[in-house]
Structure 1
Amino acid sequence: MITPSFSIVQDSKWLIFIIRAPYAKIADTEIEYGDDIFMFSAPPYYLRSRTASTVSGEFTVRVPKKNVGENFPGLDMISELLNPQKKISAQMLVEECFRIADDDEEDNSNDYFVEQNVVDIQAGCSENATDNYGYGFAWKRKGILGQLSQEIGDLVELKDPENCTIAERSVFIKLLTEQGIHLSADEQHAVALSLVDIVFAFAYDSRINDWETSCETGWNIAKLSPTLSFLCRWKSAKEAVIAVMRRSLCYPLYRNWDLSMMALNDSKFIISKGLGRTALLHILSKMHGILIGSGEFRYLFNDLFITDYCLWIQSVDESVLKTLQTEIAAVTKSDLELDLEELELEGQMARLKVEATPQLDSDDEPDD
């Protein structure tokens, strides 16, 4: 946690704490005080809001004095207030202990008095420090990311930006780029096969939404793709096609054989040599954004699959995609093993039976 900049003033009845916390989240703010202890907690996240006029980003807290009229000395001594001296005690300097305190008790006993230091984030840095370690516009900032490291999480991928020189960052990013994704021939083929059902799921959703996205797009992609929903690994392209076609006829709102065949043809066209790598990268990038905002933890599919697919598709050999295109074969209704032909035959017979039944008027009486 960051110790915010603050000051204290007083009148005859109140102590007034002025705490600068421009990034605090109001809903998580907690204030406690009692005896000679005052505690303020507000995780330092940036909160943007609109108000009728400008705000200062400061909390003003009034704490009533126990003795009205009493004067508190040394309120301008911030260091003393943050780390008060221990009270003088007549307790023996050396004591015989008959039990060992639990680690938890030792850890929690002094939580309120952990050492604090006020850090002025707005303060300027020396030219030498920013020249070697700076970041931000014109590399003139330093000390900000280090203080917010626990709160911002993975906003910046560089693990220790405060102690990593500008020259070292260029070396690290070059090494990261050179690492790439190294797969064996069998792994390359398996990864390409999984791309079939992922692209099909995207093509199906695009078909039913006129190539736009909807609130159900994330669900459709995750549900239709066996690679995402069942973490499958395929041995052949036909196996992948059959699995995703079966799911397209069972799970979504629109279940139609012709619609699924259109999505399959779209998938073949996308993977074709004419479009290939560029089209696939565009689709994967769009899918990445969809899964981020889809909810229900679907953003994890980006970490598991989509992000690496975006990197892989840029470096994969063109022959892998060409082989994949030739392997995607047409499927028949019998291949899906859903008894589709029998169900269609029963439906046709039921329709013929209805058509053969004479229509009776209200005045007609059925023959006995």
Structure 2
Amino acid sequence: MITPAFDLTQDPDSLIISIRVPYTRTSEFDLYIDGTEFKFYAKPYFLRLNLPGRIVEDGREKAKFDIDQGLFTIHVPKQTPGENFEGLKMLTSLLVPKGSRSAGPLVEDMSRDGEEFDEEFDWQVEQELYRESSEEELRALQKYGFGNQRCGVFARLQEELSDVIDLKNPEGTSVAERRQHRLEAETAAFSADHYLADLFEDDEIKGILKFKPWWAKLRPSTENEAKYDVSFSSEEKEQLRKFTNRSYLLDKTSRHQAWCSLLDILLAYVYDVRLTEGEHSVESPWTIRKLSGTLCWLETYGSLQEVLVSFGRRVLCYPLHRHFALVSAAIQDATKILQAGKACVLKCLLDVHKVFRENDPAYILNDLYITDYCIWIQRCARLEKAQLKNVSLMLQAHCPDADTIKGLQGFLWFLSLSFPPPKHPHFLKTLFSIET
């Protein structure tokens, strides 16, 4: 577990403990208060303090969380009001477990005469004082997250995030290396037998394609025919109120990449909605992040073509149902959502946020991407006029028809694994060309 950064101050009646825990689920944390011991747990963070004075848990304790800074501030009553706790700046000594003020033996016999005992969690686990990375160290790290504005997150959370992302060393892997590793992983994951089975035994696929998701049922607003009537549930409105109002300073390149990654996430989302017929399953967090190169490999896309190629390849490599018709349906669904405007896009993002929020440890992807997208999309004033219209028109131009899908897909896939395919319809050439 990770020892978080922390600081202690006091007033005459209380001890004030500030704990920095970015990328954690704020709804799930535990406190333990007993005499001179204080323990805090919020996965993956654990803090145990051996205090110089006694504190009590009597109902007066209180805690608040600053979501922007990832900072818990906890006020704990002193057992003796007015007592001055000395040594609160000696952070390292506060981490020493109770009764462990002296050095232990250099060598300890662990044999126990051959007896074996069930392992239990060690609440006296050794802790190390958190050290903030310097600006020079942070500049040397690779960027990722919304607008490529984050770095250093995985340096301390790699073990926790190994079940979320497939990239092994995000801090030291360049954009080009990430893409190369992703392509190699997709090539290794492709199963010809699975692909052909879905191609010829497609009864389930046909059922999935008949499903009408909620965005397909949208009607133009009575107030403005150019807009669609999108409503938000009380739960969605409550989540919107919880978001903080932020500003994003993105240059032209970063904005373009943000749009590409948004489309990538939407494509993965609509695939899952169609697959589960609108009722997300326990596999939904895995499906959404696995089909999105942005979420799974921290990919940075530079064009619509790159997004579609990546999504098409991943659909044919990873999920239970691997059929090109599902790629086409997802593109059509994404086109409909973009045409419906930013309210429709926001509703989709809120749904993704909920799926990840309720899953451990996929919720971290909300902090890296989805929360920022939910806020940013609301602040795009020109969104409905230009960007969405252009993207949706480009998607329509790239979307293949059923006859094209049925004809060349299998052959061209195998060709694309090793070299660019010969001349053929535009979309298939786009989807199956190896990215460089």
Q: Tell which structure's C-alpha radius of gyration is larger.
A: 1
In the superposition, the TM-score normalised over structure 1's length comes to 0.47
In the superposition, the TM-score normalised over structure 2's length comes to 0.41
